[in-house]
Structure 1
């Protein structure tokens, strides 16, 4: 496990991080909880390894100010934002008018958590100040239509954690997701986003820092959540997953196809939320993607095959023919993780 001492020694006198010194350790053993938030900011791309301490402090202050501005915009449209409460039933109708059944929106308060856990929605009611619905723009209406769906997912997310026994913490998660929904209307909110956001809300004391880490995650994975009349974004990856398994284990793929599992929908959740519900840890280190040319040159020293002589059949083919010509050669590592899980359970799947 990466210890605080080893992590601190990876910085030079200017506060620049020699990430190649610690990345393999993170990958193999994880991160000590006391430094996890700081490490995640680098792994998720909030800060570049070459940034100095002064640059990071300035950028953090700027981002916090930007988040406060975004949250203020949301508060003007719905005063539940930042109130310490969350919406769990529709706030408005599709035309922008106030939802009749809750006259201001059903909300979850501190005394209501146990009711949610038992499946009952006995919400308290309060008036809310919003602009007349005829004056609301399409973006505002769509955003407010999403609020209660965010709330329904929030009260179901990581309920086994003591952290979310607190209404304040549930509200923090709801606020972050609601603000992101406003920031990125093309994606809005989709089920599964709360799984990514939850550990960040838990780990970061400052809500703005958690938000920008979540924004970095979504910048990588937003295609997973895109939805059109023709397809859901993650279905593209499922098609690549099928192709990869057909190459690596034709017999297992043939069996899955014979029982009408060839569309690989059973792996939908795995790929959609990067094994967030299967594993007890996050896989940020495995998907670290340097953003600058200089950082890309450093990544050559991170390759596992320089340390380990052994390599798999697929990697050998990849090197021989090139990733671009291999089926799924440019696929994300999450697809290979899924295949590894299938291989571990191969005998059970075939029997």
Structure 2
């Protein structure tokens, strides 16, 4: 597919998927670049670019089951507060059985009441084997660093409010040199040296202003499905919401009830800090969807911020212009389908949709818009537990336990998306174009059983593997 054709297809897919044109990180960018920045979906030429995605996918052998077993129940019961407390040493507060915790979450998730306590461990904000004293030190350092980022945000906002000083371009610098002699010449050289840094500063200010504007728009639009899961924040008063709204500089949030207004303000403050922490990524549409669950369940902004930072170490590639992150994921989903369901893949190829652009929204915001709030939390924490099992080399299980869950993978999301597509294979095989595929994927919202999908995804992980290329 040529670049121009890709942009046209992507534009149509975007409107179907999000129902609006993308927010751009720069108002001066073209539509094509806006799509690239706003949703970070890339020009995928097809599944053939296996080297670019870092691996080839193959099936382990035998006849692949088109109708994989589904279970409407969790593989295991979730990690409970009682079990969580039992896992800690009563003297120094170390997590004694991190492997058990990880395995438990991989199979059944976490009960809502302790998610805010467990997530920082799964995401690596706190080391699994850290003591209580060590975690206190980490909390203090992280809190200080977050506050410094917020200070930078406040200073940047104040700078933007100041009138710009414009020096006349026609000022005769040559005459100054003649009048001032060598001193004037030195001043001219210094001014010349300052030009690049001045332009860089102006660009940084422009970027922050653009990100700030889009962040505020997206924060106010955030829905209220998180409220039942955030008892403390659901009870904030009008005065508390009003105060934080002013601190965040929100203008068009008067129509929101206090909890949503308070939530929107926290989103703004944390996302602004993230643009300072990672200016290369900045802010793009969809990132507020990823942050919202952390803000809802974690009361302290700094802790929600650092959990989000750890999550974005994985997800930030979805919002970059280098295109590699989205390309790898779309191609991998395509390859999983190709290996596990050749008939479905052949039909997609016949439609010219084997690049799987119709599922890009599911990839970009990690199925946040296809799943309910609770389902999203279940999927994400199971994903994080898989990552933790790999990073800490524990929690994968052994013997019968390993057979039950299969090996952990960093790409559980992609196997889950492939499972969701295969779940609709009967309808998809009757379709004749991209628009129908996008509508079908959008129609998944509110109609998925996350534990069924995870059971199917685990089966796909067992049967389909990634074969690393030499480029790895």
Question: CA offsets per residue over residues 202-241 of structure 1, 9 Å max, x none?
Answer: 111111111111111111221121114xx36313210121
Q: Which runs of 5+ in 1 are unaligned?
A: 81-90, 99-132, 316-328
Closer, same or farther: CA 135–273 of 1 in aligned 2, 3 Å: closer
Change (3 A) 1:311 1:170: closer
Instruction: Give the 3 Å change call, closer, same or farther, for CA 232–153 of structure 1 in structure 2.
Output: farther
Look up the match of 2:109: 30
- Structure 1 residue runs of 4 or more that deviate by more than 6 Å after TM superposition: none
Counterparts of residues 54-69 of structure 1 (less than 5 Å): 54-69=133-148
2:383 to 286, 290, 296: 286
Matched, 1:277 2:369: yes
Change (3 A) 1:59 1:37: same
Distance in 1, matches of 2:110 and 2:355, equals 36
Q: Shift in Å at residue 338 of structure 1?
A: 1.1
| 3-state SS of paired residue (2:221) | coil
Larger radius of gyration: 2
TM-superposed deviation, 1:75: 0.2
Residues 225 and 232, structure 1, Cα contact 8 Å, conserved in 2: no
Report the CA distance shift for 1:161/1:287 in structure 2 as closer, same or farther (over 3 A).
closer
- Provide the alpha-carbon RMSD of the alignment: 3.0
Cα contact 1:240–1:331 (8 A) shared by 2:
no
The TM-score, its normalising length taken from structure 2, stands at: 0.55
1:21 alignment partner in structure 2: 100
1:57–1:248 CA distance, 2 compared to 1 (3 A): same
Please, which of 116, 121, 135 is the counterpart of residue 42 of structure 1? 121
Superposed displacement of residue 335, structure 1 = 1.1
Consecutive unaligned residues in structure 2, runs of 5 or more? 1-77, 166-197, 228-233, 235-255, 431-472
Q: Which of 245, 248, 255 in structure 1 is aligned with 2:347?
A: 255
Contact 2:79/2:109 (8 A) holds in 1? yes
| CA–CA distance in structure 2, aligned partners of residues 152 and 264 of structure 1 | 30
Q: Using CA pairs under 8 Å that are at least 6 residues apart, name the structure with larger relative contact order, 1 or 2.
A: 2
Do residues 173 (structure 1) and 267 (structure 2) align? yes
Partner of 2:295 in structure 1?
A: 201
- 1:269 Cα deviation after fit: 1.4
Structure with the higher fraction of residues in helix conformation: 2
Three-state SS of the structure 1 residue aligned to 2:141 is helix
- Could you report, residue by residue, the CA deviation over 1:128-174 in whole angstroms, capped at 9, with x for unpaired residues? xxxxx989442232112211111121122234444573322211111
User: In 2 relative to 1, CA 241–78 (structure 1 residues): closer, same or farther, beyond 3 Å?
Assistant: same
Q: For the residues of structure 2 that align with 1:74 and 1:63, how far apart are their CA atoms?
A: 17
What is the CA–CA distance in structure 2 between the aligned matches of 1:19 and 1:220, rounded to whole Å? 22
